[in-house]
Amino acid sequence: MDGWLLLGGLAAGLLISMVTAPVGVSGAVFLLPVQLSVFGVPNPAVTPTNLLYNVVAGPGALWRYHRTGSLWSPLTRRLITGTLPGVVAGAARRVFVLPGPALFRILIAALLLPLGLWLCARTLRPVAPAARPAADEPSPRMLTTLALAVGAVGGVYGIGGGSLLGPLLAGRGLPVARVAAAALAATFATSVVGAATFALLGLLHGGDIAPHWWLGLACGLGGLIGGYLGARLQPHLPETILRLLLGVLAAGIGALYTVQTLT
């Protein structure tokens, strides 16, 4: 594989994960369109390549959160319990039901555009501290059900599931430091299972299903470094700016794929 392509993957993984790790997002949700449009990874191999990125990049931020004591919690266990079976179902659906690029672009737009707009709206909406409602954590059963559904979507999209759970739970008012560690742990666990599922399906089914190993490893190495730096910077970064940045990026990518789908 071309050395410049690997260097580009390293740089993309580092920059994206450094921005997203402080709020519990591995960066795969933003890396995937780069792999499709810039690196030219074919469908459906782009999904397991993205999962491979999560596997390699995840330990950087997780190690930092482990050192601060925020990694292991009941929230972490509930998210992992739900997302693991979901990502296997999503991987199978990605290979056998949604292999074409057109449908995949529609899915990207449908996921990222509303999520990004929602994050921006919640960030910009002025709420007085006295009127701000207390965090209403979902029940354990609801958390597991939500994680199962998000895991299935993550298996299709190649983001492990935690990248959706993090913004959703943080948007409900749960502390970002608590949500970030749990969401990244769920992303890492489901990505390991999801990448292995795709590799097995590639052996059985054939075609461009297995990950593009070298590119995934290069992006993951960048994410490993960037994720650690992002988690280290979390206590020093304004939460409002980070959430707004994530919302703008998600909405922008969703809008781009919406235009490409309609033209």
What confidence tens digit (pLDDT) does each residue in 225-251 have? 998 998 888 878 777 887 787 778 778
Q: Is the pLDDT of residue 221 over 90?
A: yes
What's the pLDDT at 184?
85
Among 54-58, 95-99, 176-180, 184-188, the minimum mean pLDDT is found in 95-99
For the CA atoms of 63, 196, 154, 225, the dihedral, rounded to the nearest 10 degrees, stands at 30
What confidence tens digit (pLDDT) does each residue in 135-146 have? 556 778 888 888
The mean pLDDT value of the chain amounts to 77
Query: pLDDT band at 254, cuts 50/70/90?
Result: confident
What confidence tens digit (pLDDT) does each residue in 68-114 have? 776 777 888 888 888 878 777 776 666 566 555 566 667 778 877 88
As for how many domains the chain has, the answer is 1
Q: Is-contact 104 159, C-beta < 8 A?
A: no
**Residue predicted with more confidence, 64 or 126:** 64
What confidence tens digit (pLDDT) does each residue in 188-210 have? 888 887 777 767 766 766 555 66
Domain that holds residue 229: 3-126+135-262
- Packing angle of the helix pair 28-37, 46-68 (nearest 10 deg): 150
- SS3 of 192-229: HHHHHHHHHHHHHHCCCCCCCHHHHHHHHHHHHHHHHH
Mean pLDDT of 105-126: 79
